[in-house]
Structure 1
Amino acid sequence: MALAVDSAGYSGSHPAVRILVAGDSYTGKSSLIASAAAESFPGNVPRVLPPTRLPADFFPDGVPVILIDTPPGLENGGKLKDELQRADAVVLTYACDQPITLMRLSSVWLPELRRLEVVKVPVVVVGCKLDLRDERDQTSLEEIMSPIMQNFREIETCVECSAATMIQVPEAFYYAQKAVLHPTSPLFDQENQCLRDRCARSLRRIFVLCDHDMDGALNDSELNEFQVKCFNAPLQPAEIAVVKRVVHEKIPAGVNQLGLTLTGFLYLHALFIEKGRVETTWAVLRKFGYDNDLKLRDDYLPVPSTRAPDQSVELTNEAVEFLSGVFRLFDADDDGALKPAELDELFCTAPESPWQEAPYKDAAESTARGDITLNAFLSQWALMTSQDPQCSLANLIYIGYGGDPASALRITRRRFMDRKKQRTERNVFQCFVFGPKSAGKSSLLNSLLGRSLSKTNTTTGECYAANVVEQLRGSKKTLILREIPEDGVKDVLLTKEFLAACDVAVFVYDSSNEKSWKRSRELLLEVARRGEESCYAVPCLLIAAKDDLDPNPVAVQDSVKVSQKLGIEAPIPLSTKSSDHNNILRRIVSAAEHPHLSIPETETGRNCKQYQQLVNRSLIFISIGAAVTVVGLAAYRAYAASRSNSN
């Protein structure tokens, strides 16, 4: 597309492009900068120029350029490194009349740039003093630079110029600016000569959005609408015919009787990039909201930024209905579960599948074949929404959510209000799982995911599990279990707002091990105290794991006493042999649904509460006494006034 458009322009935001000019002495660095700024060759050029600014209207993209000259050679390595770290691009010069300076690019300068770890910025190689080259040298630029560019992939392009005759002087810096504003690397794999995976996924989403009749091809009307949206200029019928012919000649599958296929659409963009028109593809991507990392820009993701620490984010009913529909659409064999291949296909228009890494990997229930049910699918979305609302919203849009993005998420009521009203409106509960090592925390998480408790392995890091829990009265809630490693408790509790995200905390211990119980008790008291201090107190439950083993008498007796003293429920038994794990999960959900109950009260907290009640009663008595005094004084004055009037 856009074959009728000469320049796509730049639609992003960049304050200025900072270009560092480096190279051997007497290769023409300063003359190149001075000629570009003056648009003519100046007579006398200083050895090193101060920073030179090219105005925003100097190049078509409308972004100013700052050119940084460097001292001769590499002697001042510290200053060079500082400037390189601030640069957006590097122009590396050699002199066309001095072949040794060209050889030193690959033997000295490019290795030095790599040593200074600046290969992430694009490099443009510029041959200066073209007018002084030996006329007998007929070697082409491509022949010279091809082996160097093979070894140093950071080189975007190369050009030869003459400051004295003003041949291709502006182009030298235009290519550098272009490499920054329209980088090739995120889009195209030069080594394999193909679109990068994330670029192809982004273009596939754009294709799907433009394929309004969903027939798998862009017809002439859809092609024209795409062209107008991206470039503000329509395509004439003859131009559309040329596009199709070009594609069909190279890729027959790129065009069918219905129009341009996805294969053809991707081929066109690869062709643009190969021909040096990478700005065309970037114009398309930016028009559809993508940033330089090929992810949706923040302005496309209206996630509420102001919310209290004890408020959470959930999907709205509208978003859940959309996801349920998407699940059914991609469940090709209609077996009520998505196979890994079907799930990959569902996320093929996202930058990558969001559930391949922690904390989402293995956090949902799956079958022996790795398939996930609708409940597991929705639970994964609930987990992602609670942990990273922006990521969740972005992926909703990637897979085709067409409603108002602001209507996909909702902010829950503050938990202290839930406690005050003695009920909650939340549909997703997050439970923190505390306990010593080998106590059975992982068993609890596995029970939520329907996995065997007897095959549980000990984990050392944070793990998550999410699934739907059906209550006895028929309501369904999503429960997220977050395992807190024992050795990380002290650090996380130093954060005042850590418990704000917790709806209920459970403390797991090995009921056959007195030491395990004592450590769990310590953790319970520590969390209870922290909750009282931070005003983020949460319901707490004790879980006596490994109940099928011989119970430890001290653990049994002391756990009951502690629960009674703190005012929470008696310990709940958990056994690998028990078949009714749902009972434990329901009780966890029930505790979260009643946020005013099961909150432990320590001796310190009880004393503070009694003191506050005493203060409040004293204030009430003082207020009543003051009110009586005021009323009595008013009555006396009225009486005195009436006596005075009667006399």
Structure 2
Amino acid sequence: MLGGLVSSARTNVRVVIVGDRGTGKSSLIAAASAERFIHQVPPVLPPTRLPADFYPDNVPITLIDTSSSLENRGKLAEELKRADSVVLTYACDQPSSLKRLSTFWLHELRRLEIKVPVIVVGCKLDKRDADDPTNLEHVMAPIMHQFREIETCIECSAANLVQVPEVFYYAQKSVIHPLAPLFDQEIHMLKPRCVRALKRIFVLCDHDMDGALNDEELNEFQVKCFSTPLQPGEIVGVKKVVQDKLPDGVNELGLTLTGFLFLNAIFVEKGRTETAWSVLRKFGYNDEVKLRDDIVSSAKKKAPDQSMELTSEAIEFLKGVFSSFDDDKDGVLQSSELDDLFSTAPECPWDEFPYKDAVERTPLGGLSLNGFLCEWALMTLLNPTQSSANLIYIGYNCYAASALNVTRRRVVDRKKQKSERNVYQCLVLGPKNAGKSKLLNSFLGRPFLESYSPSKMDNYVVNVVDRPGGPRKTLVLHEIPEMGLQKLFSDKECLATCDVAVFVYDSSDKYSLKRASELLVDVARHAEEIGCEMPCLLIAAKDDLDSFPMGIKESEKVCQDLGIDAPVHVSVKERDLNNVFQRIVNAAEHPHLNIPETEFGRSKKQHRELVNRSLVFVSVSAAIAVVGLAAYRAYASRKNTSS
């Protein structure tokens, strides 16, 4: 790989220059701009622009001079917070200014939470005593070890124009071709996300899938990334460099993945980050070493009450992926096999909330095919862009939008009295200790636990529901703890994206029924107000306990008053679930039924009917008037003719 430049999409780089008074900030800027030494410069220069053609990346640079006086600290902080990179100066002839880097300036940048690359610049190199034994690398090594934000260090002289252009080249390069996302300077290794991206690129370039890049594949890679082919001698030279340092980096078939990673690491370690970034950007990666949004963009829903599902083509692709990574063919992807599957993605997407505990896993963390597909269904429902990106990361080569399907609007489903979704989302609500979490656990077949620990955050589980005589459906249960209800009422999309809601109460506790009923009415009323009515079910949990007096009659009356089905009685402890999950799916599938009607809804309905009747009356009256007028004109016409 000979290298070349593929710049980021930046249109400008803003560099803020800071440091103690008298360290040469203004002279450095003036010398870079004029390309000669300026003897008299103002204490603080106005913003200075270096044109796009000043450096090979063709990106203009705006240089911001600053004052280090106490009265200008507020202005300094404002400029730093707008910086893309910072040039931090000291004077080579003033040892105290060098010491101030670690005792003040670098700590100040951290205090202000300035998280951009820092270039440390020793100015006035021409004024250093010739007998001064200071070694830049020796002096800066401990400082750079303590402050990892320092990208590089350089010494210069504005008076002699020594390394002046290089200062701002490094400042620009630290932004356009940043080191931090690629390389861990502490352990001197490529960062995991960079390794994963390069592995994906290697796999894409290994057309014959033999685990090595042959000469033709290497040449295609070179042309794609740098627009220039490799000569046969250069290919031999590249492989020799790798083989001399890393014998298993090359085999009889060509450059191995190990060698490919080693080669990229060499470029980065030698400061040629632009070469690694050229490769990454040609394959669609952004500055976070993730695929760009324009590559992973998927079909988008046009209304809040639409959702996203995997297409049949994407599901078949995932089944094939599952089979190919199930090395021992035991029908389960073990943790190591899952890690291998996602080794070309920035990270395994299912290691964190809300996916980590959303499906049942084996004791060693493995996933069955059902669990694997359920995780994908959940990710597609909650974050379609993330799902689309991960499909591409693991090898889905079709256009991203072809992997996802936008479902019909739920308001249309209600009018047609039928939903044809394959994935349903169900809100699970209820008071504390009603049995919500235990209901979710039972959906995954997890054992019943007597202990109670209140849910403090949302919880998701997903599984497939088999129904006699009907197609299998994927059901997502979304538990919202009582303390999280405010978000439910403030976020319109939260209700719009749900197909059904269930309200769980402890059938042995009168207060629990009262609170669940209040929640049901509150949610139903809010749904009526925003036009997102959905089927609702009342679930009487802990049916193994004795019901409170009149409990069954009171709960049935609540349902009767709201016009929904009678409560579904379940006992998770006794494993008597009364087909509750099938009932939830049936309710979601028939979205015109089991919609609770509150007093607000009835008033709204009566008002709408009154308006409709008024409109009908006005329409009929207008029609009669038109007919009457036509009859009168006909009569008048006949009368005039006869006379």
2:68 and 2:559 map into 1 onto residues whose CA distance is 76
Q: Which of 174-183 and 597-606 deviates more? A: 597-606
2:12 to 13, 16, 31: 16
Aligned to 1:334: 329
Aligned to 2:291: 296
Aligned to 1:154: 149
1:636 to 628, 632, 637: 632
Q: In 2, are the aligned partners of 1:420 and 1:596 still within 8 Å (CA)?
A: yes
1:51 to 37, 47, 51: 47
Q: CA deviation at 1:578?
A: 4.3
Aligned to 2:548: 552
Aligned to 1:97: 93
Q: Deviations over 1:593-620 (max 9, x none)?
A: 0011110112332233133223312322
Q: CA deviation at 1:75?
A: 6.0
1:487 and 1:312 map into 2 onto residues whose CA distance is 26
Q: In 1, are the aligned partners of 2:570 and 2:576 still within 8 Å (CA)?
A: no
In structure 2, what residue type is equivalent to 1:187? L
The secondary structure found in structure 1 opposite 2:579 is helix
Q: In 1, are the aligned partners of 2:196 and 2:343 still within 8 Å (CA)?
A: yes
In structure 2, what residue type is equivalent to 1:586? Q
Q: CA deviation at 1:592?
A: 0.3
Q: In 2, are the aligned partners of 1:446 and 1:456 still within 8 Å (CA)?
A: no
1:41 to 1, 24, 37: 37
1:526 and 1:24 map into 2 onto residues whose CA distance is 62
2:272 to 246, 267, 277: 277
The secondary structure found in structure 2 opposite 1:553 is coil
The secondary structure found in structure 2 opposite 1:53 is strand
Q: CA deviation at 1:116?
A: 2.9
> For residues 395-414 of structure 1, what are the structure 2 equivalents within 5 Å?
395-414=390-409
- Closer, same or farther in 2 for the Cα pair 1:374/1:62, shift >3 Å? same
1:314 and 1:442 map into 2 onto residues whose CA distance is 26
2:173 to 171, 178, 185: 178
Q: In 1, are the aligned partners of 2:5 and 2:226 still within 8 Å (CA)?
A: no
Q: Which of 103-112 and 434-443 deviates more? A: 103-112
Unaligned runs of 5+ in 1: none
Q: Which of 393-402 and 303-312 deviates more? A: 303-312
Q: In 1, are the aligned partners of 2:360 and 2:367 still within 8 Å (CA)?
A: yes
In structure 1, what residue type is equivalent to 2:399? D
Aligned to 2:245: 250
Q: In 2, are the aligned partners of 1:289 and 1:297 still within 8 Å (CA)?
A: yes
Q: CA deviation at 1:10?
A: 4.0
Q: In 1, are the aligned partners of 2:18 and 2:25 still within 8 Å (CA)?
A: yes
Across the aligned residues of Structure 1 and Structure 2, the Cα RMSD in angstroms comes to 1.7
In the alignment, is residue 368 of structure 1 matched against residue 363 of structure 2?
yes
The secondary structure found in structure 2 opposite 1:93 is strand
Aligned to 1:564: 560
In the alignment, is residue 505 of structure 1 matched against residue 507 of structure 2?
no
Q: Which of 401-410 and 149-158 deviates more? A: 149-158
> For residues 439-588 of structure 1, what are the structure 2 equivalents within 5 Å?
439-454=434-449, 457-458=452-453, 459-579=455-575, 581=577, 583-588=579-584
In structure 2, what residue type is equivalent to 1:598? N
1:490 and 1:88 map into 2 onto residues whose CA distance is 38
Q: Give TM-score, length-normalised by structure 1.
A: 0.96
1:134 and 1:75 map into 2 onto residues whose CA distance is 34
In structure 2, what residue type is equivalent to 1:323? L
In structure 1, what residue type is equivalent to 2:557? K
Q: CA deviation at 1:388?
A: 0.8
Q: Deviations over 1:476-520 (max 9, x none)?
A: 111000001112224421334431111000010111111111110
Q: Which of 155-164 and 449-458 deviates more? A: 449-458
In the alignment, is residue 430 of structure 1 matched against residue 425 of structure 2?
yes
Unaligned runs of 5+ in 2: none
Q: In 1, are the aligned partners of 2:225 and 2:278 still within 8 Å (CA)?
A: yes
- Closer, same or farther in 2 for the Cα pair 1:456/1:310, shift >3 Å? farther
Q: In 2, are the aligned partners of 1:443 and 1:456 still within 8 Å (CA)?
A: no
Q: In 2, are the aligned partners of 1:497 and 1:534 still within 8 Å (CA)?
A: no
Q: Deviations over 1:347-378 (max 9, x none)?
A: 11111111111111100122333322111111
Aligned to 1:143: 138
2:403 and 2:299 map into 1 onto residues whose CA distance is 11
> For residues 298-313 of structure 1, what are the structure 2 equivalents within 5 Å?
298-305=293-300, 307-313=302-308
Q: In 2, are the aligned partners of 1:547 and 1:574 still within 8 Å (CA)?
A: yes
- Closer, same or farther in 2 for the Cα pair 1:473/1:304, shift >3 Å? same
1:107 and 1:617 map into 2 onto residues whose CA distance is 81
Aligned to 2:641: 645
Q: CA deviation at 1:456?
A: 6.7
Q: CA deviation at 1:89?
A: 1.3
> For residues 587-626 of structure 1, what are the structure 2 equivalents within 5 Å?
587-626=583-622
In structure 2, what residue type is equivalent to 1:285? L
Aligned to 2:257: 262
2:124 and 2:470 map into 1 onto residues whose CA distance is 82
Q: In 2, are the aligned partners of 1:53 and 1:67 still within 8 Å (CA)?
A: yes
The secondary structure found in structure 1 opposite 2:18 is strand
In structure 1, what residue type is equivalent to 2:85? A
2:70 and 2:362 map into 1 onto residues whose CA distance is 61
1:75 and 1:629 map into 2 onto residues whose CA distance is 83
Q: May I ask how many residue pairs the two structures share in their alignment?
A: 642
The secondary structure found in structure 2 opposite 1:309 is coil
In the alignment, is residue 188 of structure 1 matched against residue 183 of structure 2?
yes
Q: In 2, are the aligned partners of 1:40 and 1:166 still within 8 Å (CA)?
A: yes
Q: In 2, are the aligned partners of 1:10 and 1:181 still within 8 Å (CA)?
A: no
Q: CA deviation at 1:73?
A: 5.2
The secondary structure found in structure 1 opposite 2:583 is helix
The secondary structure found in structure 1 opposite 2:5 is coil
Q: CA deviation at 1:641?
A: 1.1
Q: Give TM-score, length-normalised by structure 2.
A: 0.97
Q: Deviations over 1:160-184 (max 9, x none)?
A: 2111121111001111111111111
Sequence identity (%): 63
2:58 and 2:451 map into 1 onto residues whose CA distance is 60
2:413 and 2:216 map into 1 onto residues whose CA distance is 54
1:387 and 1:191 map into 2 onto residues whose CA distance is 37
The secondary structure found in structure 2 opposite 1:475 is strand
Q: CA deviation at 1:19?
A: 1.2
> For residues 208-219 of structure 1, what are the structure 2 equivalents within 5 Å?
208-219=203-214
- Closer, same or farther in 2 for the Cα pair 1:132/1:583, shift >3 Å? same
Q: CA deviation at 1:580?
A: 5.3
Q: CA deviation at 1:577?
A: 4.3
- Closer, same or farther in 2 for the Cα pair 1:511/1:595, shift >3 Å? same
